[in-house]
Amino acid sequence: MKELDELILPDDLGYTKEHEWAKLEGDLVVIGISDYAQDQLGDIVFVEMPEEGDSFSAGEEFGTLESVKAVSELYIPLSGEVVAVNEELEDSPELLNRDPYGNWIIKIKADELEDMDKLMDHDSYLKILEGE
């Protein structure tokens, strides 16, 4: 497992305490898992994702990741409707281990884009990780 100073944590993302990240792209929010999450899980072997058109409230479970170590729930950082799922992950879930930021899980049309401001920035997220 990586040391904290080895983790890649881009500054331009919002993070959750459950280790998801979110990034605003136009009027959509792209969601994935952090480098910390993929490192802790180990080899990811399956990704369960919602369907396009599904709607979730912030904090609700929207899918699961299965690794050789455990099954972990995915929690949506913002309320909204799923407009795209990364179908590449169905056949190649290990892409999340290779590049957790280049390989997103879902894209949503957020109910309130201002809710991005409620997510943790890089420094706040790092403080959470230091406490784990």
pLDDT in tens, 15-52: 999 999 999 999 999 999 999 999 999 999 999 999 99
The CATH number of 4-112 is: 2.40.50.100
Segments making up each domain of the chain, as ranges: 4-112
Beta-carbon neighbour count of residue 95 at 10 Å? 18
3-state secondary structure 38-97: HHHHCCEEEEECCCCCCEECCCCEEEEEEECCCEEEEECCCCEEEEEECCHHHHCCCHHH
pLDDT in tens, 49-97: 999 999 999 999 999 999 998 999 999 999 999 999 999 999 999 999 9
The torsion region of residue 42 among left (phi > 0), alpha (psi -120 to 50) and beta comes to left
Look up the pTM and report it.
Answer: 0.96
